[in-house]
């Protein structure tokens, strides 16, 4: 079974005009309807960012959205320097599988937020790209446990997937406010950012030694694009035939 939504559900959430027009055009339609629309079709038409945004339209799939957020965060968990962030990923995953309570999820989220704040403070003091990557990774973990339900749906979907573009660990915390569906998007975004920061840090060190520090920016951009491509492939897998 493919995970689906409908154009009417998407329309009810006020999509951005350009993305909406693009989707209708690529589907060969002019108005919204209630015909099942596969998330993989949205991914093909508009790309990962819009496909993740559409997760808001199907709260019945919150478990999948949270698991996707956790997966995104785990791609950068090697950058997480605080055990509280790692524990948050474990609790968020167990919660999605019905093995942890809302209370446990909320406690883990609070701990992850504290870990993120600590890493953020360290980043300000050192201004090192590597520290920023660790901060982003920590935030990604926090987002995965994001509570939209209790601030909405305490365990349905986290802020956008550990809200998935490159896990600037710092962005994961905001997942709580975005709701479970939003968690997937944010995890993905912050995770991708963390990957980019890490690549820049490595390239910066090598570039300084070689007298070419500008290579760091290019390395970061390349790493982020690769992370996004991997995220898109995983999303397609999770929303495809089940």
Give the span between the Cα atoms of 33 and 41, in whole angstroms. 15
Q: Tens digit of pLDDT per residue, the chain (242 long)? A: 899 999 999 999 999 999 999 999 999 999 999 999 999 999 999 999 999 999 999 999 988 998 888 888 888 887 777 788 888 888 888 988 999 888 888 888 888 778 777 766 765 665 455 555 655 666 666 677 764 433 322 222 223 323 322 334 433 433 432 345 566 776 777 677 777 766 766 666 665 445 555 666 677 788 888 888 999 999 999 999 65
pLDDT of residue 106: 83
Instruction: Check residue 100 and report its DSSP letter.
Output: S
CA dihedral angle for residue 55, residue 59, residue 65, residue 70, rounded to 10 degrees: 130
Please check whether residue 148 is in contact with residue 154, taking contact to mean a CB–CB distance below 8 angstroms: yes
Residue 159 gets which letter from DSSP?
A: B
* Per-residue pLDDT, 142: 65
Separation of alpha carbons 24 and 219, rounded Å: 36
* Residue 48, C-beta contacts closer than 8 angstroms, at least 6 positions apart: 164, 188, 228, 231, 232, 235
The pTM of this model reads 0.76
Confidence at residue 136, expressed as pLDDT on a 0 to 100 scale: 66
Do 159 and 177 touch, CB atoms closer than 8 A? Answer: yes
Q: How many Å apart are CA 137 and CA 117, to the nearest integer?
A: 12
pLDDT in the model for residue 141 = 66
Q: How far apart are CA 162 and CA 98, in angstroms?
A: 19
């Amino acid at each position: 079974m493919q995970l689906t939504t409908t154009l009417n559900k998407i329309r009810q959430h006020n999509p951005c005009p350009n993305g909406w027009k693009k989707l209708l055009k690529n589907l060969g339609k002019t108005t919204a309807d209630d015909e099942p629309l596969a998330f993989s079709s949205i991914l093909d038409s508009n790309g990962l960012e819009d496909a993740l945004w559409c997760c808001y339209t199907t709260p019945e799939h919150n478990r999948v959205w949270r698991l996707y957020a956790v997966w995104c965060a785990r791609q950068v968990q090697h950058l997480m320097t605080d055990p509280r962030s790692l524990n948050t990923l474990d609790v968020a995953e167990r919660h999605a599988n019905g093995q942890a309570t809302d209370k446990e999820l909320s406690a883990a989220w609070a701990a992850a937020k504290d870990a993120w704040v600590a890493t953020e403070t360290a980043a300000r003091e050192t201004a090192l790209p590597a520290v920023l990557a660790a901060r982003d990774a920590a935030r990604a973990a926090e987002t995965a446990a994001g509570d939209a339900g209790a601030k909405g749906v305490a365990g349905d979907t986290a802020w956008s997937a550990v809200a998935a573009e490159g896990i600037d660990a710092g962005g994961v915390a905001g997942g709580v406010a975005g709701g479970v569906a939003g968690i997937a998007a944010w995890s993905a975004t912050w995770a991708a950012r963390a990957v980019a920061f890490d690549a820049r840090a490595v390239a910066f060190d090598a570039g300084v030694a070689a007298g070419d520090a500008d290579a760091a920016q290019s390395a970061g951009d390349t790493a982020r694009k690769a992370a996004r491509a991997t995220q898109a492939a995983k999303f397609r897998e999770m929303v495809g035939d089940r």
